[in-house]
Chains A and B, each alone.
Chain A
C-alpha cells in the first residue's frame, strides 16, 4: 500500500539551512505536500509540488522532487527559531476522494 517515510528529528542552528527529506511509495502520486504543525495547532500547508515538476521555490522554501527515486525534500533557507515545528510530508493521487497519505513528521529544532 501507499507509504510515506521521513526522518523523525532534525536540529539546526539559527541562520543555517534545514533540509528535511521524505520518500514515498505510490508511483501514481500526483501531488506532494509539505505541512507544518506548531504545538497545539492544526496542520498548515506550507507548499506543494505537482509530480511533473522537479523543483519549486517559494521565498525561503525550496522543494525538490526526484520522481525516479520517489524522494522529496524541503529546504528552509536562513532557518529561524520560529521555524521550530513538526513538518509533515504528504502525497495524494487525483482519485475521486483525494485521500492524502502523511509521513510521521520531522521535528525541526532550531538552536539560537
Chain B
C-alpha cells in the first residue's frame, strides 16, 4: 500500500542552524501539507502546497519557514534559523484533491530537537 515517508526520523540541531525536513508524498497526490505537534500539545497546521505554490499557511509559518518541491518526488520543509521552540514532531501529509473526502495521508513524522 502506498505511504508517505519522512526522513530523518529524528533530527537534533543547534539553535540558529538551518534544518531541512524531507518528505516523499504518495506518487499520484497533488496536495501536500506540513503539520507540527509540540510535545503534549495539539497537531497544528503549518502550510498547504499545490501546483508549486503555497495554498494556505498559518500564523506559525513565518519567514523562517519555507517549503519546496525540488523534484517530482520530494517535498521539503526548511527552517532557516532554528529556535528552541521549534522542537516538535513535524508531520508531512498528502492528498489526491481538496474537496470531497480529502483524505490526507500522514507520514510517521520527524522529531526535531533544537538544543
Contact = CB atoms under 8 A, between A and B. Distances in A.
Nearest to B44: A102
Contacts, number: 64
Interface stretch (B67-75, B80-88, B95-103): B95-103
Interface residues of B, number: 29
Contact of B106 (A31, A44, A104): A44
Interface of B: 4, 31, 33, 35, 41-45, 48, 54-58, 91, 93, 95, 98-99, 101-109
Nearest to A102: B43
* Interface band, chain A: 20 to 34
The 10 A-B residue pairs with the shortest CB-CB distance in the complex, in nearest-first order: A97-B56, A42-B106, A97-B55, A102-B43, A97-B48, A43-B106, A98-B98, A42-B108, A104-B42, A99-B45
B43 A98 contact: no
Interface string A18-43: 00000000000001000100001111
A10 B102 CA distance: 28
Nearest to A2: B45
A102 B106 contact: no
